Chain A
Amino acid sequence: MSKRLRLVLLVVVLVLLVPARADAYVGPGAGFALAGSFMAFFAAIASAFSTIITWPFRLAFRAVFGWRALARSRFKRIVILGLDGMDHGLTETMLAEGTLPNLAKLREQGSFSPLGTTVPPLSPVAWSTFQTGVNPGKHNIFDFLTPDLNRYHAKLSSVEIRPPRRSIRLGPYRIPLGKAQVRLLRKSKPFWGILGRYGIFSCIQRVPITFPPEKLRGVLLSAMCVPDLRGTQGMFSYYTTRPKAPGETIGGEVHHVARAGDQVQANLVGPQNPLQPEGGELLLPFEVAITSPAGAILKIGGAKYDLQKDIYTDWIHVEFRAAPGVKVHGICKFLLLDCEPEFGLYVTPINLDPERAAMPVAYPSVYATYLAKRQGPFATLGLAEDTWALNERVISDDQFLRQCLDMDAEREAMFFDALEKVPRGLVACVFDGTDRLQHTFWRDIDPGHPARPADDVIAGRRVIHDLYRRMDDLVGRTMAKCRRKDELLLVLSDHGFGPFRHGVDLNRWLEENGYLTLIEGRGDEEHLAGVDWSRTRAFAIGLAGIYINIRDKYSRGVVEPGAKVDRLREEIADRLTGLVDPGAGASAVKRVYIAAKFYKGPYKDDAPDLIVGYQRGYRVSWETAIGRTTDRVFHANSKAWRGDHCVDPSLVPGILFSSQPVRNPNPRLIDVAPTVLSLFGVPVPDYMDGKPWTVGGAAPAPKAPAPARELAEVAT
Chain B
Amino acid sequence: MNAVFSWIAACLSAGADALGRPLLAPLGVLPGWLSATLVAAATGVILLIAFKYTSNQRSIKRVRDDLDANLLALKLFKDSTAVTLRSQGRLFVGGFRLMLLALVPMLVMALPVTLLLGQLALWYQSRPLRVGEQAVLTLALGGDAKAPWPHVRLRPSNAVQVELGPVRVRSKRELCWTLKPRAAGLHRLTFDVDGRPVDKQLAVGDGLMRVSALRPGWDWEEILLNPAEAPFRPGAAVRSIAVAFPTRSSWTSGTDSWLIYWFVVSMAAALVFRRALGVKV
Contacts and interface: CB of A to CB of B under 8 A. Distances in A.
Interface stretch (A44-52, A113-121, A552-560): A44-52
Given A8-B104, A366-B76, A27 B113 contact: yes
B71 A43 contact: yes
Interface stretch (A254-262, A418-426, A600-608): A418-426
A421 B44 CA distance: 41
B103 A47 contact: no
B271 A40 contact: no
Contacts, number: 173
B83 A33 contact: no
A29 interface: yes
Contacts of A598: none
A369 interface: yes
A374 B113 contact: no
B81 A55 contact: yes
B80 interface: yes
B83 A51 contact: no
A51 B88 contact: yes
Contact of A30 (B64, B79, B105): B105
A238 interface: no
A367 B100 CA distance: 29
B281 A33 contact: yes
A20 B79 CA distance: 47
Contact of B94 (A25, A40, A47): A40
B80 A424 contact: yes
B82 A423 contact: yes
A29 B279 contact: yes
B47 A27 contact: yes
A373 B66 contact: yes
Given A51-B84, A369-B72, A33 B267 contact: no
Interface string B248-281: 0000000000010011001101110010001101
A33 B98 contact: yes
| Majority secondary structure, B binding face | helix
Contacts of B87: 47
Given A8-B103, A28-B269, A34-B106, A370 B98 contact: no
Interface string B56-78: 00001000111111011111110
A253 to B, nearest CB: 29
Interface in A1-60: 8, 11-12, 15, 18, 20-21, 23-34, 36-41, 43-44, 47-48, 51, 55
A680 B99 CA distance: 45
A33 B76 contact: no
Contact of B281 (A32, A366, A376): A32
What class of interface size applies to chain A in its complex with B? Answer: 35 or more
A364 B84 CA distance: 18
Interface in B206-225: 221, 225
A714 interface: no
Contacts of A11: 103-104, 107
Contact of B64 (A8, A12, A28, A36): A36
Contacts of B157: none
B68 A27 contact: no
B123 interface: no
Contacts of A420: 83
Contacts of A44: 88-89, 91-92, 95
A201 B77 CA distance: 9
A577 B281 CA distance: 67
B25 interface: no
Contacts of B162: none
Given A27-B113, A373-B68, A219 B76 contact: yes
A47 B74 contact: yes
Contacts of A21: 221
B102 A30 contact: yes
B55 interface: yes
Contacts of A369: 68, 72
Contact of A33 (B44, B60, B71, B80): B60
B85 interface: yes
Contacts of B111: 24
B101 interface: yes
B247 interface: no
B96 interface: yes
A339 B110 CA distance: 48
Interface in A405-424: 420-424
A698 interface: no
A202 B221 CA distance: 60
A303 interface: yes
Given A28-B271, A40-B67, 18 more contacts: A23-B225, A26-B113, A27-B47, A28-B48, A28-B266, A33-B51, A34-B99, A40-B92, A40-B98, A47-B74, A47-B88, A47-B91, A51-B81, A367-B76, A370-B73, A373-B68, A422-B77, A424-B80
17 contacts: A23-B225, A25-B263, A26-B109, A27-B48, A30-B106, A32-B270, A33-B98, A39-B95, A40-B94, A40-B98, A43-B74, A302-B278, A373-B68, A421-B73, A422-B77, A423-B83, A424-B79
